[in-house]
Structure 1
Amino acid sequence: MKSIVLPLLFLSIPAAALAQAPDEAGDAPAIIVTGAGLPLPPGTPAYGSVVIDRARVQDSASGRIESVLGDVAGFQQFRRSDSRSANPSAQGATLRALGGNASSRTLVLLDGVPMADPFFGYIPFSALVPDRLSVVRVTRGGGVRAFGAGAVAGTIELASATRDQLPTFGASAFYGSRDSTELSASLTPDLGSGYVSLSGRWDRGDGFQTTPKSQRVAATVPAAYDGWSTNLRAVAPISATAELQFRATLFQDNRTLRFEGADSMSQGQDASIRYINRGPWQVDALAYVQARNFSNIVMSSSTFRRSLDQRNTPSTGLGGKIELRPPVGGNHLLRIGVDTRFATGDMFEDAYNANIVSNPATFRRHAGGNELTSGVFVEDDWTIGKLVLTGGVRADRWSIRNGFYRQVSATTGAATGSAFADRSDWEVSGRVGALYRASGAIAVRGAAYTGFRLPTLNELYRPFVVFPITTQANAALTPEKLKGAEGGIDLTPAPGVTLSATAFYNQLDDAIANVTDPLVANTRKRQNVDRIVAKGIELTAAAALGDVRLSASYAYSHSSVHAPGAAFDGLTPAQSPRHAASATIAYSPAQGPTLSTTLRYVAKQYEDDLQSDVLPDALTVDAIARLPVGHGVTLVARGENLFDATVVTRNAGGSMDLGTPRTLWIGINVTR
């Protein structure tokens, strides 16, 4: 593993030497530490990114980043639950209605580091605290830049808050419905010419009943949760143009789902170091390590005894990148880079006979493997007057190795299992785009791209049960491959007002889906289907009118599965709504009270590939109000789902789970 990460650090050293130049007057250059990455390339708007600023990131009624991402219509997790009441392994992120999948089809980055769990591919949303962030940028469609392999539905870039955005000391305390509490604090002192920021959050709650009242039994319990995370970030200058950024995050999340004893736990220890050089030879180099674990107990819905104990799923992720931007002239921005990601993990689980009072173990299971993806990429942005052309290509070598599945009888000791053949191959992907600024008020753009995503270790080797459905793994899964195109227009009809429209066509070949077995009741299996085609329109609008800010987003996505001969051929992919919309209005004067209200709508979607189980549409309203009382103290009131709309998050043959009901919070923020 050392051979993967260490070269990335050593190779960045020569670039640091390039920055050691005094200014023309011979004086020592000024040192300015930002804690941010390199500037965005000029061709970025060609791909139609949506930006959520810090003010909006902090104005979430739930205080959770997945709710903020809901501002981008078309963003979805595998299910509609947030990170307090969902099974963590179901929190995959996707865009553009490309089909329900618990693994992420969207690349999620924090300060350039991939956040997906190395084994499952889910995103640890509870560890991504909005107060720690500066900005969120969502780009729908395939990606080529660093870690672009895997970004088949798009990229979500999270950037940590910079020094000027962080108070030296900040703290908050909230109390909410169902005996919920949320405590957080941060300390950000300057340290020499740099700074250090230490922050933490702990939240817990008795939880709400995810089970409809008509389906509750004696063993039914609310979805209690209890989690914490802490984050250390340090930024230090090396020269006038170069700095080092270090980040370490520790988190643990405990939840109970549906039945007493159905407990899950996810935890992680992540660390990264990043070198940024803004000199003539710009450099962005980083290395990271992730240690994650997950456990989950499945209870029988008839006897309410353990049926499965997924007791331990340790996994490790290692990776890094180097991106160079050589000085090639004012009209070009050239990026050349390499990146690598390694993931390894194991699943240890015990099956039990839930029909016997003593609840004896029946089988011990162990599965796992590892994956490695290494790529090289080149991308260039060429500015020709009002026209910006951008294009890039990347080549990736991937491998899936050491895969196995073993099962041992707990009573006889008899063992069965398989060792799966190693696989490897090359994938080449690319993208091109154009942006033409016809005037200060009108810009038109177009883009085309390809991409791919490896199946996760979870999809390859781990079966799972969500009553009454058992979903089997499939070690023979092949990578998903995307090709797509889009075109759009951006308008600025008045100062502070922006409108944007995008039409897109995406085709995901060999899409990984949970396919119903026609021969075995209540059984699905992960399989590659021929393709999923998603086409539609995305609209966004924003306006800043004095003290009032407006933002809105709408996505129409017409998705269909092409699987000749299968029962679901021509149907809508699971977990893919046709319509999604979000709108926020905020009143935020420079002084005095502020108020923000958000409305979200998601059309009906289907739980399964055969469209037999419907998740009805849902309309929710959230709000947050702030009242400054002086001396850095602000009273805050938050309300989630104010009209207590019923949000169905799962429907398996009529067995349902529900999303967050009306939840009210009152709290206080203190900054110094």
Structure 2
Amino acid sequence: MSKLRGSCPMFRPLIVSSLFLSTSAFAAQVAPVPDAATPESTAAGTILVTATRAPTEIDRLASSVTVLDKAAIDRAQDIGVTELLIRTPGLSMSRNGGYGTTTSLRIRGAETDQTVVVIDGVKLNDPSSTGGGFNFANLLVSDASRIEVLRGPQSILWGSQAIGGVVNVVTAAPQKDLEASFDIEAGSRETVNARAGLGGKTGPLAWRIGGNIFTTEGISAIAALPGQTAERDGYTNRNLAGRAELEIAEGVSLDARGYYSRGRVEIDGFSGDTPEYSLNREFVGYAGLNVDLFDGRLRNRFAYGYTDTDRDSFNPTRARPQTFDAAGKNKRLEYQGSFAITDKWNALFGVENERSNFRSVSPAGSLSVPVPDPIRGKAEITGVYGQLSGELLTGLTVSGGIRHDDHKTYGGKTLFAGGAAWALPTGTVLRASYSEGFKAPSLYQLYSEYGNTGLAPERAHGWEAGVEQRLFDDALTLAATWFERKTKDQIDFNSCDFPVSTDPLCVTPGGDPRFGYYINVARTDAKGLEATASLKLGEGLLVDGNYSWIKAENSDTGQWLPRRPRHTANASISYDWAFGLTTGAAIRWAGKSYDNVSNSIRLDDYTLVDLRAELPIEGGTRLFARVENLFDEDYRTVNRYGTLGRSFYLGLRGRF
């Protein structure tokens, strides 16, 4: 294990701190690339946030948000969206091996399935997954032009599941009559990542299509013990995204978007190295009609969204290779309206109906044992919401919202939220908000072989208060936010003492013993502090950093929630040299955490250092290179599972 030594682990990497590369904190200080999701033109330096379902200036938001624009995404050079997000405050990640393996992202200590992921306005989740959430393993940067993280319960606008927050990914929309882009890079472990996009505007039609191919030999999913040599588990991913908007009349347009991803990842069994592998296919489709009335004061959107996720696992050593087959589908109808009551007050309202279903089966390895009928389940939820926001005093924006969800199984649930943001002439922004969350049990938790139809929904409420101060003509920005969240009836997996347990739920309805089942066992508390700072000196030097202290625990037992470090910190610096070269580096430090509910397995703290450089060549092309995990830190985010060591990459980027 290679580690930097020092009196405090947070400051071990100071020997390279003069080279950091700016990514997340400073990204919220520059104007985003316009796209179809943010149609309004804004003054230079104004940031619009679209994860709020309607473009909203960031200084008018009561909740904490991080915005990564295309410049920040390019500057970071990261392959996956997860790698970008963990540089931002309040987020932590765990992964069962290298790229493509199961990846969990937690916002402010919430469960990964308590985060809503949105791509181009379509809410993603897999009804066949354990918690009904989204697996970040296959979400590559691809043709993303903008990524937003909205923290805290957001169920008013996004419904069931948005207890931790929202991650909003917006793909690129054309800005010219004809435009193109490409990125290609290669590096350690025979890794190759190539993506390209093409788009344009022709009369009333605006369109763009982008694709990404990624392949790597990877690392062993199960970490090798000292003295052992483990085989590499490779990963490939191919995805395609497209969008088109057609203006058919003044104030009337049609909008279509699509996303498809196919991944193949080699995995290991619990006993160690195996030739097992998994396939994952995801499809996202969207079609919408946009109608503006009364000179644009009333905007209406009628839309249909569809997601289809198909997962299969195989073990070639078995007589029947397929070990798992699951599929989940979502069909979503929605109407959303916004009405400009005055030039300072706006109402947002809507209704949506979501129908989801799943099937799952685990065939036996012996050909003599028939494949059982798949387990199936379905759910339907209809939600109605409304939110009013406006400027109460100069610079003081207040908002309040209400939502009522009618779940076909669990009946009705009403949620409330409210907050205020006050932008003062001194460059100070004060924020405070209260919000509630609600998450129905997933179909897998209800109906799978480990299901429990007696589960109750998870319920949460939280509040936050923060301050942001901009100084020296916005060259220096300091911010801090305190938050608290309480969750009741959190769902967890309860293991059975197989096969001798006397617990009646440890037996299936057919009388067969099972290894465990899902149950409402926990009340959890999460609270913490997020602090950020960014500094721009002259035209070329950017410095930023953030620190998060998050105490997430089971309030019944006092134990830490698994795989959530209590302390995390990021810092970065970049410098643009006069002759065009940009150099930089970034540091991420994560404190200790625990791998299991009982806190008996500890995951040690770790420090990662990355170096990056970028050089314009000619026209719109740039050469870039980076070193990740410079000091080859050996660390774990999941017990027994490996992580990437020192890695080198070299690439070429073009924007035309």
TM-score normalised by the chain length of structure 2? 0.82
C-alpha distance in structure 1 between counterparts of 2:320 and 2:564, whole Å: 30
Contact 1:147 1:339 in 2 (8 A): no
Deviation at 1:185, TM superposition (A): 1.7
Q: Give the aligned partner of residue 481 of structure 1.
A: 459
Which of 631, 646, 649 lines up with 2:637 in the alignment? Answer: 649
Q: Give the aligned partner of residue 50 of structure 2.
A: none
Which of 60, 71, 89 lines up with 2:87 in the alignment? Answer: 71
C-alpha distance in structure 2 between counterparts of 1:161 and 1:627, whole Å: 23
SS in 2 for 1:146: helix
Contact 1:127 1:229 in 2 (8 A): no
C-alpha distance in structure 1 between counterparts of 2:319 and 2:607, whole Å: 36
Deviation at 1:590, TM superposition (A): 9.0
Tell me which amino acid in the other structure corresponds to 1:116.
Answer: N
Contact 2:492 2:522 in 1 (8 A): no
Cα–Cα, structure 1 residues 298 and 649, in superposed 2: closer, same or farther, change >3 Å? farther
C-alpha distance in structure 2 between counterparts of 1:595 and 1:35, whole Å: 32
Contact 1:152 1:482 in 2 (8 A): yes
Q: Give the aligned partner of residue 379 of structure 2.
A: 371
C-alpha distance in structure 2 between counterparts of 1:587 and 1:167, whole Å: 32
SS in 2 for 1:178: helix
The superposition leaves residues 390-436 of structure 1 with CA deviations (integer Å, 9 ceiling, x where unpaired) of 1100000113xxxxxxxxxxxxxxxxxxxxxxx33111111110122
Cα–Cα, structure 1 residues 129 and 138, in superposed 2: closer, same or farther, change >3 Å? same
The superposition leaves residues 40-69 of structure 1 with CA deviations (integer Å, 9 ceiling, x where unpaired) of 167852112122222112233431111111
Q: Give the aligned partner of residue 149 of structure 1.
A: 160
Alignment partner of 1:541 is 2:550: no
Superposed, 1:556-595 pairs within 5 Å as 556-563=549-556, 569-588=557-576, 592-595=580-583
Deviation at 1:491, TM superposition (A): 0.9
Tell me which amino acid in the other structure corresponds to 1:231.
Answer: A
C-alpha distance in structure 2 between counterparts of 1:486 and 1:624, whole Å: 35
C-alpha distance in structure 2 between counterparts of 1:105 and 1:573, whole Å: 14
Contact 1:308 1:349 in 2 (8 A): no
Q: Give the aligned partner of residue 389 of structure 1.
A: 398
Alignment partner of 1:187 is 2:183: no
Alignment partner of 1:664 is 2:648: yes
C-alpha distance in structure 2 between counterparts of 1:373 and 1:234, whole Å: 29
Q: Give the aligned partner of residue 114 of structure 1.
A: 123
The superposition leaves residues 207-242 of structure 1 with CA deviations (integer Å, 9 ceiling, x where unpaired) of 112333327878x52120011001121122234444
Contact 2:118 2:169 in 1 (8 A): yes
Q: Give the aligned partner of residue 358 of structure 2.
A: 345
Which of 261, 275, 279 lines up with 1:265 in the alignment? Answer: 279
Deviation at 1:189, TM superposition (A): 2.8
Cα–Cα, structure 1 residues 147 and 510, in superposed 2: closer, same or farther, change >3 Å? same
Contact 2:143 2:211 in 1 (8 A): no
TM-score normalised by the chain length of structure 1? 0.80
Q: Give the aligned partner of residue 620 of structure 2.
A: 632
Contact 1:85 1:659 in 2 (8 A): no
Deviation at 1:287, TM superposition (A): 1.5
Deviation at 1:524, TM superposition (A): 5.3
SS in 2 for 1:221: coil
C-alpha distance in structure 2 between counterparts of 1:191 and 1:118, whole Å: 39
Cα–Cα, structure 1 residues 139 and 365, in superposed 2: closer, same or farther, change >3 Å? same
Contact 1:43 1:433 in 2 (8 A): no
Cα–Cα, structure 1 residues 596 and 53, in superposed 2: closer, same or farther, change >3 Å? farther
Structure 1 residue ranges without an equivalent (≥5): 1-32, 354-358, 400-422, 464-471, 564-568
Alignment partner of 1:452 is 2:461: no
Q: Give the aligned partner of residue 245 of structure 1.
A: 255
Superposed, 1:131-210 pairs within 5 Å as 131-164=142-175, 168-210=179-221
Deviation at 1:346, TM superposition (A): 0.3
Contact 1:291 1:317 in 2 (8 A): yes
C-alpha distance in structure 1 between counterparts of 2:178 and 2:488, whole Å: 48
Alignment partner of 1:96 is 2:103: no
Contact 2:415 2:436 in 1 (8 A): yes
Tell me which amino acid in the other structure corresponds to 1:483.
Answer: H
Contact 2:155 2:438 in 1 (8 A): no
Deviation at 1:649, TM superposition (A): 2.9
C-alpha distance in structure 2 between counterparts of 1:42 and 1:169, whole Å: 29
Cα–Cα, structure 1 residues 525 and 58, in superposed 2: closer, same or farther, change >3 Å? farther
Alignment partner of 1:46 is 2:62: yes
Tell me which amino acid in the other structure corresponds to 2:543.
Answer: L
C-alpha distance in structure 2 between counterparts of 1:95 and 1:166, whole Å: 39
Q: More displaced, 185-194 or 520-529? A: 520-529
Matched pairs, number: 583
SS in 2 for 1:286: strand
Q: What's the RMSD between the two structures over aligned residues?
A: 2.8
Alignment partner of 1:36 is 2:52: no
SS in 1 for 2:71: helix
Deviation at 1:106, TM superposition (A): 1.0
Cα–Cα, structure 1 residues 196 and 363, in superposed 2: closer, same or farther, change >3 Å? closer
Q: Give the aligned partner of residue 338 of structure 2.
A: 325
The superposition leaves residues 355-384 of structure 1 with CA deviations (integer Å, 9 ceiling, x where unpaired) of xxxx86586362120111210011111312
C-alpha distance in structure 2 between counterparts of 1:539 and 1:335, whole Å: 31
Tell me which amino acid in the other structure corresponds to 1:35.
Answer: A
The superposition leaves residues 327-364 of structure 1 with CA deviations (integer Å, 9 ceiling, x where unpaired) of 312231111111222111101221337xxxxx865863
Q: Give the aligned partner of residue 490 of structure 1.
A: 468
SS in 2 for 1:47: coil
Contact 1:498 1:541 in 2 (8 A): yes
